[in-house]
């Protein structure tokens, strides 16, 4: 049995592999079908996790609103909404963001410095203070953090981005599955964000995937991959 939660990345990108434009603006190019797909995947999770840049770009998270999905969670004796976790080394957010007014449980993963900003404040229901990686400055030690999340009852996590967060989890071999939506759009730009950022991998070290499912809905393609762990932990 795993000591950490099952993890699934759910992310949409353009046909040329971008998740945002050259300014890093919030991606609004996904269709209604993509939003329904995202909500369905969120409804399967105990927690959804995203990075600080993603929260600052969008200002919100995505609560479950579909009555059928809410009914299914209730029938499984799960909370109506999964926990929404934002991770940030600095912990610096505008408390006026709409995120803090959404009807969802909110947790913060941060450092001791970031935690001090929210002590005795109502915005977060729980604050998890984590150690930073010894080898990657300004990166959380994710294996320890995920183990702790499982101890707190989060057995399945949906990873919603951005690219830095996904890269750091891949670097620690902590991603199990990937749902990738290919949207019919070209953005270009050598500095435009991609699904996996960070310093990258050499070809010989690349993360290998096994295709599980392909779904086409109108002009979008939904790809479901299993991450090959044969050489991982």
- Residue 1: inside a domain: no
- Residue 74: inside a domain: yes
Q: Is residue 135 scored above 60 in pLDDT?
A: no
Give the C-alpha separation, 62 to 125, whole Å.
17
- Residue 232: inside a domain: no
Kindly report the average pLDDT of the chain as a whole number. 92
pTM summary value? 0.91
pLDDT value, residue 220: 97
Q: Is residue 134 scored above 70 in pLDDT?
A: no
pLDDT value, residue 137: 53
pLDDT value, residue 132: 65
- Residue 233: inside a domain: no
CA distances from 7 to 48, 92, 121, 122 (A): 10, 26, 29, 28
What are 165-217's pLDDT values in tens digits?
999 999 999 999 999 999 999 999 999 999 999 889 999 889 999 999 999 99
pLDDT value, residue 156: 98
Task: Check if the beta carbon of residue 19 is closer than 8 Å to that of residue 194.
Answer: yes
- Radius of gyration for the chain, computed over Cα atoms and rounded to the nearest angstrom: 17
More confident residue, 137 or 59: 59
- Indicate if the alpha-carbon torsion angle 39, 111, 57, 51 is positive or negative: negative
More confident residue, 6 or 191: 6
- Residue 39: inside a domain: yes
User: How many whole angstroms from its chain centre is CA 180?
Assistant: 12
What's the domain count of the chain?
1
Closest CA to 84 of 104, 113, 112: 104
Q: How confident is residue 117, by pLDDT bands cut at 50, 70 and 90?
A: very high
- Residue 71: inside a domain: yes
CATH no. for residue 128?
3.40.430.10
- Residue 38: inside a domain: yes
More confident residue, 231 or 176: 176
Give the C-alpha separation, 233 to 230, whole Å.
8
- Residue 145: inside a domain: yes
> Structural domain of residue 69, as residue ranges?
6-227
């Amino acid at each position: 049995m795993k000591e950490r939660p099952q993890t699934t990345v759910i992310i949409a990108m353009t046909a040329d592999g971008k998740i945002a434009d050259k300014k890093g603006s919030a991606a609004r190019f996904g269709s209604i079908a993509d939003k329904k797909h995202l909500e369905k995947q969120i409804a399967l999770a105990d927690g959804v996790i995203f990075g600080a840049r993603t929260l600052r770009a969008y200002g919100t998270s995505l609560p479950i609103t579909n009555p059928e999905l809410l009914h299914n969670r209730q029938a499984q004796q799960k909370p109506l909404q999964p926990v929404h976790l934002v991770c940030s080394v600095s912990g610096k957010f505008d408390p006026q963001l709409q995120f803090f007014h959404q009807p969802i449980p909110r947790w913060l993963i941060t450092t001791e410095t970031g935690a001090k900003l929210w002590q005795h404040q109502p915005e977060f229901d729980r604050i998890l203070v984590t150690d930073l990686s010894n080898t990657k400055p300004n990166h959380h030690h994710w294996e320890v953090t995920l183990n702790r999340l499982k101890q707190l009852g989060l057995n399945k996590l949906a990873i919603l981005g951005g690219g830095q967060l996904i890269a750091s989890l891949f670097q620690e071999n902590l991603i199990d599955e990937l749902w990738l939506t290919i949207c019919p759009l070209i953005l270009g730009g050598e500095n435009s964000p991609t699904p996996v950022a960070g310093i990258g991998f050499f070809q010989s070290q690349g993360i290998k995937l096994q295709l599980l499912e392909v779904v086409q809905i109108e002009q979008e393609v939904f790809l479901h991959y299993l991450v090959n762990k044969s050489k991982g932990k």
